[in-house]
Chains A and B, each alone.
Chain A
């Protein structure tokens, strides 16, 4: 294939910078004379079956953008002045090594935080560097309550001992045509409009594929979306009340005896206690809390329960509920008591493909990589572990809200430096964004690794290191399936991959490092799969686990494929799905699901609600952007040029604002600019706007910082997290505000 002599085609796997996303697609890179000229979806990759999103199709504009960082930089002016000069990699590594060693000698390794953003090909490299340096503080700094997937993972782990995802046939290369596979009869799409997202290892359009093959949709969404308008039932929920809805649906299914009695008897623990708990959530009460009519709740619960197989696909609003882990637990109970676990077309248990760890998701994986001793030692001084047992017991991440408070206060121990890797904290995830800015300015030393300058690098960086896109690096991915490799096909400037940078730094900071180079590390991690990096490249970059492997469905609990002891059952203390969670009990968290009102809102803060009568929903996706990225890519930006706010026509009239007008969204924390889009998509009592906005075309130096303080919506999102476990409850979807005219 190819149009021209001299064009070579390289199939590879996507993950992180470039398309920006959580990855998994197979894409073919067309390269001529060492230059990327085109990207096409790989028909042989079962994940996307030849399809591509607009972001990956714009890869040439991303890779060769004139603003790409292509050499290491050293700050020469004051912080924020925007004065940097190019330095060599050696000099950059030397400066980082000296500085990080002297800080470790004087204050201890825990005084350096290693900050990442979303779940991309950075979790592996950054945890590797963090652990080799000896710091316990690997953190999604800014992400209040770590409210992106981690609470859901925690809720599932505490219930089933494993994670689960909707089965769209993704675990078989034959996909929908695999005779073992069955399309879900009903899919609950909970808090997501899947087409613009490919989050958490799930290609959004898989739901669309299933709809074409007959799946009926129950959409739970406060907004009208493409998905909700095609649903059998659209439950237009009040943001932040998903926990009540899940408990109400459990109430219907249990009291009407629509659950799978055989599965419940044989495979679950604590059903009677759950039954008792759900009596506190009768449908009339739930209807009042959620603003969803009673009849719809009952009908949706019945439709889901009486159809088998049925699946639930969920989004980040679950995590952003107050007590996000508890909400996730309640939803996991829905698929558990209806017997939809690990069956074709249900919610199947998801494990890293072939047992390969790229990005350690659980404490067990961290122990596997770094040993029990180091993990135990680091657990002792991790930020948040004394306050929240779940921070200690589940995953190896520091609690982000406490981390920024500690950076600010220096208590209980000082934080001196931050290693910020492909995370635009100030322009992206940070709730209380201005507080993050003020607090982080106190840091003695800040390294930013990224592909473009952004508000974070401009405001804070002492050293900037240029990172590579997925087309420019060797790496690997095992986020569920497939097992995939990225292999380097082009070089841009002096950019290096996150793995290259961090392995070099780790070797400088720890003389006993396990690996000298990237290939060594990848091949060692791949060894459990019985395959090498080069072999995977040879095979077209992706492989699926074979039948009978513990990372391949179905019905593994019956076959003894889940537990270390090889016995049938689940990887929980009781060997059953724990409807009453022993793990939560041991972490001091309510073992049964419960509902709590959002911190702000008509119920909890009526006075504030009178002053700011609109519930602001943020954090949804544009097809064009991944979080705070891609605003500088011409083909993408022209299709979504300005940060808009969706306002219902009645609401627009009430506030006297009109379509296309620039206004402020305002609350006690400040105000942010938005362009009005009058739309029936939103409920009259809610508005909706996208996050991650800054303007690369504006001046980067202070005070402009690319317009971040004009457009960063998270500066009016409060903190800390609204949850008692430390996980969940970022207030990104429940904050109150009003619309105000911009005064000239």
Chain B
């Protein structure tokens, strides 16, 4: 699965944690174990005095939902993302997408 990755447009990530709980449900992870972790950033900024951003980070437990992929389904985090700001695809496709999506980050977890 090395060619695949996750593109996250963090401008739209609202920090809802659906990705994290979807991951735990999908893999049967107990609390404390998760394939994706969301971090909040609150900082002094330029456009507004304060900026608030969230960023989901795929941990080493992320297997890009290989089982779901084989069934033709999206990874659990991507499917349930309430802000629809995550995409799964080949790295080549995602890089192309990234060029027109400012404030985004590409992960290649495996």
Contacts A208-B12, A224-B50, A623-B17 given; indicate if A637 touches B25 (C-beta within 8 A). no
Q: B23 to nearest A CB, angstroms? A: 9
Instruction: Flag A49-75 by CB within 8 Å of B: 1 or 0 each.
Output: 011111001101000000000000000
> Which of B16, B45, B67 has the most chain A CB within a 10 Å cutoff?
B16
Stretch at the interface among B56-64, B78-86, B89-97: B78-86
Q: B104 to nearest A CB, angstroms? A: 13
Q: Is the CB of A226 within 8 A of B80?
A: no
Contacts A39-B25, A229-B50 given; indicate if A53 touches B14 (C-beta within 8 A). no
Q: For this complex, into which size category does the number of interface residues on chain B fall?
A: 20 to 34
Q: 10 A–B contact pairs at CB < 8 A? A: A41-B80, A51-B80, A57-B22, A226-B52, A623-B15, A624-B17, A635-B24, A637-B31, A639-B20, A681-B42
A204 to chain B: which residues have CB within 8 Å?
Answer: 82
Q: State whether the Cβ of A568 lies closer than 8 Å to any Cβ in chain B.
A: no
Q: State whether the Cβ of B100 lies closer than 8 Å to any Cβ in chain A.
A: no
A679 to chain B: which residues have CB within 8 Å?
Answer: 42
Q: State whether the Cβ of A638 lies closer than 8 Å to any Cβ in chain B.
A: yes
Q: B62 to nearest A CB, angstroms? A: 17
Q: State whether the Cβ of B4 lies closer than 8 Å to any Cβ in chain A.
A: no
Q: State whether the Cβ of A40 lies closer than 8 Å to any Cβ in chain B.
A: yes
A225 to chain B: which residues have CB within 8 Å?
Answer: 52
A291 and B29 CA atoms in complex are apart in Å by 48
Instruction: Flag B15-37 by CB within 8 Å of A: 1 or 0 each.
Output: 11110111011100011100000
B15 to chain A: which residues have CB within 8 Å?
Answer: 195, 226, 623
B43 to chain A: which residues have CB within 8 Å?
Answer: 680
Spell out A's residues near B (CB within 8 Å): 1, 3, 38-41, 50-54, 57-58, 60, 195-196, 204-205, 208-209, 211-212, 224-226, 228-230, 234, 623-624, 634-639, 679-681
Q: State whether the Cβ of B2 lies closer than 8 Å to any Cβ in chain A.
A: no
B52 to chain A: which residues have CB within 8 Å?
Answer: 224-226, 229, 681
A209 to chain B: which residues have CB within 8 Å?
Answer: 84
Q: Is the CB of B21 within 8 A of A205?
A: no
A225 and B16 CA atoms in complex are apart in Å by 13
Q: Per a CB cutoff under 8 Å, which of B49, B54, B84 touches A226?
A: B54
Q: Is the CB of A57 within 8 A of B48?
A: no
Q: Is the CB of A205 within 8 A of B31?
A: no
Q: A690 to nearest B CB, angstroms? A: 15
A50 to chain B: which residues have CB within 8 Å?
Answer: 79-80
| 16 other A-B residue contacts (CB within 8 Å) besides A51-B81, A195-B83, A208-B82 | A50-B80, A51-B80, A53-B18, A57-B18, A195-B16, A205-B83, A208-B14, A212-B84, A225-B52, A229-B48, A229-B51, A623-B17, A635-B21, A636-B21, A639-B20, A681-B42
Closest to A208 in B: B83
Q: B13 to nearest A CB, angstroms? A: 9
Q: Per a CB cutoff under 8 Å, which of B21, B54, B83, B84 touches A54?
A: B21
Q: A210 to nearest B CB, angstroms? A: 12
